[in-house]
Amino acid sequence: MTGVMQTAGKAVRIVIRLVLFLFFVLLALGNTEAVHFQLLPGLQWQGPLILFLLLAFLAGVLLTLIGGVSVSRLKKKRVEPRESATNAN
């Protein structure tokens, strides 16, 4: 029975991935208008809206990963002294 459930789970994941992929393709095709992006005065770019949306998304992912790594390092630093103190006894 678990083999059937695993196969069904894989099929559901494939369908979800295909639906998400189709959604993002349609989103990209619908957002091809040219926009002006100004980061600083005098620093301006022009490109399709989907490009700037993708760059903003990737920047968010990168910042999340950096934040997650720093939080996990802080947690490890807090745990290590406790473990070494218990090993000394």
pLDDT tens per residue across span 30-57: 888 999 989 888 899 999 998 998 899 9
68-78 b/e with 16+ CB inside 10 Å = b?
eeeeeeeeeee
User: Token pair for residue 14?
Assistant: 């494939």
pLDDT tens per residue across span 6-33: 888 899 999 999 999 999 889 888 888 9
Residue 88 has pLDDT above 70, yes or no: no
Query: Whole domain around residue 59: which residue ranges?
Result: 2-88
What total number of domains does the chain contain? Answer: 1
Largest Cα span, the chain: 67
> What pTM value is reported for the model?
0.57
* Average model confidence (pLDDT) across the chain: 83
Give me the mean pLDDT over the 68-76 stretch.
Answer: 76
5-37 b/e with 16+ CB inside 10 Å = b?
eeeeeeeeeeeeeeeeeeeeeeeeeeeeeeeee
User: Token pair for residue 34?
Assistant: 């040219």
